[in-house]
Amino acid sequence: MGAALVEFDVQLTRDGHVVVIHDPTVDRTTNGRGRVGDMSLQELRALSAGYPDRFGSSYVGERIPTLAEALSFLRGRVRAMVEIKLDSVTDDAAGAIEARTIEEVRRQGMSEDLALISFDTRALERCRDMAPEVVRGHLFDRGLEEAVAAAVEVGALVVMPEKRLLSEELRDHTKAAGLKLATWVVDDPLELAALERFDLYGLATNRPGIMIEALSD
């Protein structure tokens, strides 16, 4: 459809594997129950990740992918934004999700083809220190001035507030700090038009085809 980036979320399994799944538990989108961080990769792989509550048996054969599989699939096709989820950020910096994610990004040769994003400033600080060459983005859903300051501290390129937090003040504050402004999630062309005044660098959407068509108009 022509989207510039594909965004997805990563969590850490009990046995140290980085997997692509949004929720901290498997309850909503698989046929299993439990926290991702309490399960091994083998246990996760045994689950059907076809989101049965929404799609029934249409995608029963789907499995939770590893970060390695996702990056291998995307490499050379499209750039990525990888969100490090709060639930997987721990005090163990050396063996933590940030280090394991960066290791895989470098192994795949994608350091220049993706961005690491998070709500967690500590996670982004580690990403800055471990992989300064990889672009960073700071997500937030509250505390505007603190978030912009944190984004500057971690050397982020992009500040990414939830759309209800957008304002002219935030736009100007972000620009003055030398940062770009992006938001999420925008699925309605009319809403997109209403957000034009914020000079957005980018936006996340569940309907990329419709949004790209709206932008071209």
Domain 5-22+69-216: state its class.
alpha beta
Question: What type of residue sits at position 126?
Answer: R
For residue 22, give every residue at least 6 positions away whose Cβ sits within 8 Å of its Cβ, in sequence order, or none: 8, 9, 29, 85
Tell me: the pLDDT tens digits for 102-160?
Answer: 999 999 999 999 999 999 999 999 999 999 999 999 999 888 888 899 999 999 999 99
Task: State pTM to two decimals.
Answer: 0.95
- Residue ranges covered by each domain of the chain: 5-22+69-216
**Ramachandran area for residue 144 (φ above 0: left; ψ -120 to 50: alpha; else beta):** alpha
